[in-house]
Amino acid sequence: MKKKVLALVLSLFFLQCLWAQDNPFMNDANGRPLYRQTNYRVEGTPYYHDGYTIAEITSLYGKVYPPVNVKFNIQTNEVLYMADDGTEMVATMPIRRIRLIGFMSPEGARDRILESFSEQPLNATNAPVYEKIDTGRITVLKQIKITYIDNKEFNQSTVVRNFKRKETWHLLSANGVVKNFETGKEAMLATLTDKPKEITAYIDKEKLKCRSVEDCRKVIRYYNTLFQ
């Protein structure tokens, strides 16, 4: 297992070196240098992931770029990338989607897709940020919000900026409408209205209470297989 993970990491590294050469994203991003404010101490993180990750970028106009190293600040909606001289830049080009390729996590490596699912580009101020979790006719989304609180301890001059991450579950319908994820058997049947008999039979067979998000995700995954 360790050898497979090492091989994947090395493969991504060498691909990264190739992709970095003459990547059109570097020209189209219309980047501006990142200004770092350093008069506070940070707890937590405003980023989806603190390190740079190889990602495929899709612009608001549908252009898909070869993979490039990026870092996404969810709190400010800033997409960062590294210029050839090592300067951290903020992309000002409107971005529709970020696909993190082979993103490593405790569950293993898999692609992660981040989108706005609104008229706003992903990197517009205050645009909603959703991660696709289960895809199909009905897609399960996890909305990620990051906020911060500044605190100054008594008799201390340093401000501590504490970042808080909040995740909530949502559903994306076949016609592109995002709505809240409601648990419960009745909620599932009200959402999956075109297959009531199949859904009821599956819930009963699997003895699901549908009180948890995980139970409901099983139902939605089954529902999506009915259209494959």
Residues 65 and 147 in one domain: yes
Residues 162 and 147 in one domain: yes
> What pLDDT was estimated at residue 4?
52
Classify each residue of 90-128 as buried b or exposed e, where b means 16 or more C-beta atoms within 10 Å of its C-beta: bbebbbbbbbbbbbbeeeeeeebbbbbbeebbbbeeebb
Residues 150 and 189 in one domain: no
> What pLDDT was estimated at residue 86?
86
Residues 135 and 207 in one domain: no
Residues 133 and 219 in one domain: no
Residues 153 and 214 in one domain: no
Number of structural domains the chain divides into: 2
Residues 194 and 149 in one domain: no
Domain end point (choices 144, 164, 181): 181
The distance in angstroms from the start CA to the end CA of the chain is: 32
- Report how far apart, in Å, the C-alpha atoms of 52 and of each of 45, 60, 148, 181, 217 are: 14, 22, 22, 31, 30
> What pLDDT was estimated at residue 84?
82
Tell me how crowded residue 130 is: count the other CB atoms within 10 A of its CB.
Answer: 23
Per residue in 150-203, pLDDT (tens digit) is 998 777 788 999 999 999 999 999 889 999 999 999 999 999 999 999 999 999
Cα dihedral across residues 144, 149, 153, 159: positive or negative: positive
Residues 137 and 210 in one domain: no
pTM of the model: 0.86
- In which domain, by residue range, is 202 found? 182-228
For 209-226, what is the mean pLDDT? Answer: 97
**What integer best gives the mean pLDDT of the chain?**
90
